[in-house]
Amino acid sequence: MIKFLLRKNFVDGWDNMFQIIFYNFITLMLCIGGYFAISATISNIYVALALFFVVTAIIFIPIFSMAEICQQIACFKPIDTKDFFKNLPKVCKVAIPFGLIIATLIIIALVAFPFYAQNESVFGTALLILLFWIYIFLFLSLQWFCPLYVNMHGSFFKTLKKSFIFFIDNTGFSIFFFLYTIFLYIVSFIIILLVPGFAGVVLAQCNAVKLRMYKYDWMEENKEEIERDRQKNFMGKVRIPWAELIAEDKELLGHRTFLDLIFPWR
């Protein structure tokens, strides 16, 4: 399933390359503009801090709007650039509070980690380690917030709760995907964050959640079979028939070679 996910992410990204670049360009300009705005007010720490929260919240608005587009791509639906602008006011109620949460976590990290790192006591070291693992847990969970929201369109707190549940239920997969996201951003920085960039990462997340949801739909429809498997298996592990679940997606996607990845118009 992971091999298919990687192939699907890259192919969908190339097939919609111009849209991806366009969305990334808008988000990148907001990031650059926000950076210079905060830098200009850095002499007044309170103004700079308030501006940082505002800028972070604003940046997540286009990210959530492009996530709606990426969800359509993940479901093999046609997309229209106009939808990106139509989605902007709709996602504000979720994007802004999520951006404020991320901004708060960043500020706490910038203050707390150096403070506890300088504290050479056992208590300070213990708090530093605890804080580190809390942040690992938070970011591994929050990476699923945006794709879960565009997949289900639940309320903010309901989606937040599902993000933590999704991570706990898919711990290994979440760790792998977090590393995969880091890889995508490393590649993005080489190409000035235009490809795959923010939109490419969001598209990968939407694909991952969409495919993972097949498991939950299958489990809902096969409760009796799952219960029998758990009784037979000492560890209670359930075998998920991924080959069957993604068969339709593989058929729609078709066979792709490495040359198709480099030359998507072939």
Q: Does residue 263 have a pLDDT over 60? A: no
DSSP the chain: -HHHHHHHHHHHHHHTHHHHHHHHHHHHHHHHHHHHHHHHTTTSHHHHHHHHHHHHHHHHHHHHHHHHHHHHHHTT----HHHHHHHHHHHHHHHHHHHHHHHHHHHHHHHHHHHHHH--SHHHHHHHHHHHHHHHHHHHHHTTHHHHHHHH---HHHHHHHHHHHHHHTHHHHHHHHHHHHHHHHHHHHTTT-SSHHHHHHHHHHHHHHHHHHHHHHHHH-HHHHHHHHHHSTT------HHHHTHHHHHHH----HHHHH-TT-
Whole-angstrom CA distances from 97 to 6, 91, 207, 220 are 30, 10, 24, 32
Q: What would the two tokens of residue 70 be?
A: 């990426």
pLDDT band at 134 (very low <50, low <70, confident <90, very high): very high
Q: Decide if pLDDT at 59 tops 90.
A: yes
pLDDT digits over 154-198, tens only? Answer: 999 999 999 999 999 999 999 999 999 999 899 888 888 787 889
Phi, psi angle pair for 249, to nearest 5°: -65, -40
Close Cβ partners of 97 (under 8 Å, ≥ 6 residues apart): 57, 156
Is the distance from CB of 13 to CB of 196 less than 8 angstroms?
yes
Q: What is the pTM of this model?
A: 0.87
Q: What is the CA radius of gyration of the chain?
A: 20
What DSSP letter does each residue of 159-187 carry, written as one string? Answer: HHHHHHHHHHHTHHHHHHHHHHHHHHHHH
Better-scored residue on pLDDT, 21 or 54: 54
pLDDT level of residue 235 (50, 70, 90 thresholds): low
Distances in Å between the alpha carbon of 156 and those of 52, 78, 114? 22, 27, 31
CA 52 from centre of chain: 21
pLDDT at 11: 47
Task: Say how many C-beta atoms besides its own lie within 10 A of residue 153's C-beta.
Answer: 13
Q: What percent of the chain shows pLDDT beyond 70?
A: 85
Lowest mean pLDDT among 2-6, 22-26, 112-116: 2-6
Worst-scoring range by mean pLDDT, 63-72, 139-148, 244-253?
244-253
Name the band, by pLDDT with cuts 50, 70 and 90, for residue 262: very low
Q: In the prediction, which pLDDT does 230 show? A: 66
Q: Stretch 19-40: mean pLDDT, rounded? A: 91
pLDDT reading at 71 higher than 60:
yes
Work out the average pLDDT over 53-75: 94
Give 83-128 pLDDT, tens digit per residue: 999 999 999 999 999 999 999 999 999 999 999 888 878 888 899 9
Two tokens, residue 67: 């996530």
Q: Is pLDDT at 53 greater than 80 in this prediction? A: yes
Is residue 266's pLDDT more than 50?
no
Q: Given pLDDT bands bounded at 50, 70 and 90, which one contains residue 62?
A: very high
State the pLDDT confidence band at 244, using cuts at 50, 70 and 90.
confident
